[in-house]
Amino acid sequence: MDSTAKLLSSTSNGDYLKQGVVLLSAADLRVLVGSQVAIAAIDEAYAQLYVNRGDQGRSLGFSIAQGSIHVKAGLLPGSHECFAAKINVNLPGNGELNQLPTIQGVVVLVDARNGRPLAIMESMALTAIRTAATAALAARHGARKNAKRLAIVGCGAQAGYQLDAFAECFDLEDVRVFDMNVPVPRRLREIINQVAGFVVLPPPAFEMRLKAWISASHARHRVRRCSPTIMSSRDALLPPWARTIRASKKSPPH
């Protein structure tokens, strides 16, 4: 994060007139900000916040007819070289009314030393990358160092980012996935197949027969056997039943 800010703000004012503001889409961010880079940046930011408690960000909220608007902003902890503000519009009925995502927004990055706008970035992908990196960093400090089994509860958009980040921090051999929807979203299956050589395996036959009767307590029992555990999206509070899929580095049975 610090090195990126210095790199972006190193050009002269004359160069800025030619360079302009960097625009980064969700696709751009997924390519440029890998899990390793994001985790290192979050680690550095938290270390700076620990010794600079006054550098916590600030939030603003506004109610509108169809939902709400949130602004979260802050300086780069410690150095104060850059300022960033995330503006998100949350419209719960947006999908049905306008065929658009519920939450949309941008992050604006500014050089706080000379006021020069540096970048405008799509906020949802950046937030997902940041959230996953934060969770993986916390697990790296709090979970067993030799943890090889991961549980993901909720297979929404965030789940794939979480798997990618945790695979960066742990030598995973087994992934347990819980979700209220059947089947596991195709995107997550693709990511599981790509990350660290995992393959998706069908659940045991008895789980398939009893899938409508898997209780929240049973899911919690299975989760307790996993370290670390991710509670993702709306499934942080499990419904009366949950779908269980197992992913493993082992070859699928024939």
Q: Which residue, 127, 160, 184, sits at the end of a domain?
A: 127
Give Cα 109 to chain centroid, integer Å.
19
**Kind and range of the H or E run holding 109:** strand 103-111
**177 in any annotated domain:** yes
Give the model confidence (pLDDT) of 90-110 as tens digits.
999 999 999 999 999 999 999
**Plot region of 25 (φ>0 → left; ψ -120 to 50 → alpha; else → beta):** beta
Give the model confidence (pLDDT) of 34-46 as tens digits.
999 999 999 999 9
**84 in any annotated domain:** yes
Assign 131 to helix, strand or coil: helix
Is residue 243 exposed (0-12), middle (13-18) or buried (19+ Cβ within 10 Å)? buried
Q: Which residue carries 């600030």 as its tokens?
A: 58
Q: Are residues 123 and 6 in the same domain?
A: yes
Q: Are residues 68 and 165 in the same domain?
A: no
pLDDT of residue 226: 57
CA angle (213 as vertex; 210, 215 as ends), nearest 5: 125
Q: Are residues 28 and 99 in the same domain?
A: yes
- Name residues whose C-beta falls within 8 Å of residue 98's C-beta, 6 or more positions apart in sequence: 91
Indicate the number of domains in the chain: 2
Percent of the chain at pLDDT above 70? 63
Asked if residues 185 and 245 have their Cβ atoms less than 8 Å apart, the reply is no
Q: Are residues 103 and 154 in the same domain?
A: no
Q: Are residues 120 and 171 in the same domain?
A: no
Average pLDDT estimate for 62-90: 96
**138 in any annotated domain:** no
The boundaries of the domain holding residue 211 are: 143-248
Closest CA to 176 of 157, 194, 198, 158: 198
CATH number at residue 90: 3.30.1780.10
Closest CA to 229 of 157, 188, 172: 172
Q: Helices (H) and strands (E) in the chain — how many of each?
A: 10, 11
**253 in any annotated domain:** no
Rounded CA gap, 141 and 235, in Å?
24
**230 in any annotated domain:** yes
Average pLDDT estimate for 206-232: 49
Residue that wins the pLDDT comparison between 179 and 229: 179
Q: Are residues 13 and 118 in the same domain?
A: yes
Q: Are residues 64 and 123 in the same domain?
A: yes
159 falls in which pLDDT band (50, 70, 90)? confident
pLDDT value at 13 more than 70: no
**239: its two tokens:** 């419904």
Q: Are residues 123 and 156 in the same domain?
A: no
Average pLDDT estimate for 153-171: 86
pLDDT of residue 213: 37
Lowest mean pLDDT among 187-191, 193-197, 221-225: 221-225
Q: Does the model's pTM come out above 0.85?
A: no
**135 in any annotated domain:** no
Q: Are residues 21 and 105 in the same domain?
A: yes
Q: Are residues 191 and 223 in the same domain?
A: yes
**137 in any annotated domain:** no
Cα–Cα distances (Å) from 124 to 26, 61, 104, 130, 166, in that order, read 7, 17, 7, 10, 19
Q: Are residues 170 and 87 in the same domain?
A: no
